[in-house]
């Protein structure tokens, strides 16, 4: 006969599993029987988008970050505004900035054809972000799946929880920590800025007013980014001046030369020994960067997913069913 302490322990375990039920439910084999062709359907669409425009890989990767940091990885960033629904697309970090939605739409169309009503937009974004990294020369990993799509969005959380490019190192650490991500995750995930572009308005303060910047680099960027706010705000510059379409460790090499584009980028070097040592480790070893980047992506992908019967599988990634 079971002792009362065994009964109690089993009841406690059941309760723990029920309460903890929102995390740890994603799995790399989630669609293996319901949509076995998922990966082979997504990748060629990402590949063809990147072949047409290299930047789209960067844009899709960033969409996944901005999705996960707001209400969890639930496709909330993909929702369009309507007269009666306020999405996240006009939040300060997103407005005139996030892009790549057409790629997600194209993938969704292809996936709906292969497996109608099965795969969430949140999962499509997770797979497309991984494929983008791989196609541009970065690491590969198995993506955990099983997220469902939200029926809501939060512009106020998008404004508060996505760190701005003016962030200090301590701000960056605390914004990531609030999502369960460590300083190491933050430094490794910032390595995403090895690809993609930023607008003048995002780096103007750094190139005109900061002193921790290489003078000739500042001058070069000032040439296409006027100091007056409002003029040339949308002029673009590469986040990694060396290889802006290759996923490599040049981002970190730029930082030790004081050639980080954003104020927040340059905060990772020569502010604290704790991040300096990570930057140096990633310069010494692309393998270390890639493996910390992959763990960071998996942890970020685990942020508050909707699972089970929560949320829905959207038919169109831009609107709730």
Ligand X SMILES: *[C@@H]1O[C@H](CO)[C@@H](O)[C@H](O)[C@H]1NC(C)=O
Of 66, 148, 259, 318, which residue is the catalytic one?
66
Residue 114 token pair: 């292969």
Closest approach of Cβ 117 to ligand X, in Å?
A: 34
Select 134 or 281, whichever has its Cβ closest to ligand X: 281
Active site residue 66: yes
The secondary structure of 254-321 as a DSSP string is: HHHTT--SSHHHHTTSSS-HHHHHHHHHHHH-HHHHHHHHHHHHHHHHTSS-B-TTSSB--SBTTB--
Residue 271 interacting with ligand HEM (CB under 6 A): no
Q: Is 210 annotated in some ligand binding site?
A: no
Q: Is 226 annotated in some ligand binding site?
A: no
Residues 30, 301: Cα–Cα separation, whole Å: 14
Select 48 or 168, whichever has its Cβ closest to ligand X: 168
Residue 224 interacting with ligand X (CB under 6 A): no
Closest approach of Cβ 90 to ligand X, in Å?
A: 4
* Residue 209, contacted partner among ligand X, ligand HEM, none, CB below 5-8 A by kind: ligand X
Select 107 or 207, whichever has its Cβ closest to ligand X: 207
Q: Is 67 annotated in some ligand binding site?
A: yes
Residue 281 Cα to chain centre, angstroms = 22
Among 193, 204, 263, 318, binds ligand X (CB under 6 A): 204
Select 92 or 113, whichever has its Cβ closest to ligand HEM: 92
Q: Is 248 annotated in some ligand binding site?
A: yes
Q: By the 8 A CB rule, do 121 and 112 touch? A: no
Please name every residue paired with 319 in a beta bridge, in sequence order, or none if there are none: 316
Query: What is each CA distance from 209 to 93, 169, 180, 232, 287, in whole angstroms?
Result: 21, 17, 32, 17, 35
Q: Which residues of 241-251 are buried (b: 16+ CB within 10 A; e: fewer)?
A: bebbbebbbbb
Residue 90 interacting with ligand X (CB under 6 A): yes
Of residues 55-74, which lie at the interface with ligand HEM (CB under 6 A)? 55, 58-59, 61-62, 65
Q: Is 163 annotated in some ligand binding site?
A: yes
The secondary structure of 32-71 as a DSSP string is: TTT-TTHHHHHHHHHHHHHHH-THHHHHHHHHHHHHHTTT
Q: Sign of the CA dihedral 218, 219, 225, 228?
A: positive
Q: What is the dihedral of CA 245, 248, 254, 255, to 10 degrees?
A: 120
Q: Is 81 annotated in some ligand binding site?
A: no
Residue 205 interacting with ligand X (CB under 6 A): yes
Among 110, 114, 134, 197, binds ligand HEM (CB under 6 A): 197
* Residue 189, contacted partner among ligand X, ligand HEM, none, CB below 5-8 A by kind: ligand HEM
Q: Tell me the residue ranges of DSSP E strands in the chain.
A: 197-199, 236-238
Select 199 or 280, whichever has its Cβ closest to ligand HEM: 199
Q: Helix (H, G, I), strand (E, B), or coil: what is residue 316? A: strand
Query: Can you give the binding site for ligand X, defined by CB under 6 A?
Result: 90, 95-96, 204-205, 208-209, 227, 270
Query: Can you give the binding site for ligand HEM, defined by CB under 6 A?
Result: 55, 58-59, 61-62, 65, 97, 99, 163, 165, 167, 172, 186, 189-190, 192-193, 195-199, 202, 239, 262, 264
| Numbered residues of the known binding site for heme b | 193
| Numbered residues of the known binding site | 67, 70, 72, 74, 76, 88, 163, 193-194, 240, 243, 248
Catalytic residue numbers read: 66
């Amino acid at each position: 006969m079971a002792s009362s302490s065994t009964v109690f322990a089993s009841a406690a375990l059941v309760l723990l599993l029920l309460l903890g039920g929102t995390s740890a439910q994603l799995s790399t084999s989630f669609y293996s029987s319901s949509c076995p062709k998922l990966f082979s359907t997504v990748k060629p669409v990402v590949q063809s988008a990147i072949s047409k425009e290299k930047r789209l890989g960067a844009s899709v990767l960033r969409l996944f970050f901005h999705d996960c940091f707001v209400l969890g990885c639930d496709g909330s960033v993909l929702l369009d505004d309507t007269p009666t629904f306020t999405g996240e697309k006009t939040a300060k970090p997103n407005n005139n900035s996030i892009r790549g939605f057409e790629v997600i739409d194209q993938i969704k169309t292809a996936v709906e054809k292969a497996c109608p009503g099965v795969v969430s937009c949140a999962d499509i974004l997770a797979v497309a972000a991984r494929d983008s990294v791989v196609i541009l020369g970065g690491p590969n990993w198995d993506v955990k799946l099983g997220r469902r799509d939200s029926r809501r969005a939060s512009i106020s959380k998008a404004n508060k929880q996505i760190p701005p490019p003016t962030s200090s190192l301590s701000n960056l650490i605390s914004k990531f920590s609030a999502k369960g991500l460590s300083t190491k995750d933050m430094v490794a995930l910032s390595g995403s800025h090895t690809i993609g572009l930023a607008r003048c308005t995002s780096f103007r303060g750094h190139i005109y007013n900061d002193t921790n910047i290489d003078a000739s680099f500042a001058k070069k960027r000032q040439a296409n980014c006027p100091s007056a706010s409002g003029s040339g705000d949308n002029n673009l510059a590469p986040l990694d001046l060396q290889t802006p379409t290759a996923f490599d460790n040049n981002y970190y090499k730029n930082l030790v030369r004081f050639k980080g584009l954003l104020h927040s980028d340059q905060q990772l070097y020569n502010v604290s020994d704790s991040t300096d040592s990570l930057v140096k480790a990633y310069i010494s070893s692309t393998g270390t960067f890639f493996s910390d980047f992959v763990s960071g992506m998996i942890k970020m992908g685990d942020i508050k997913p909707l699972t089970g019967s929560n949320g829905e599988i959207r038919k169109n990634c831009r609107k709730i069913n």
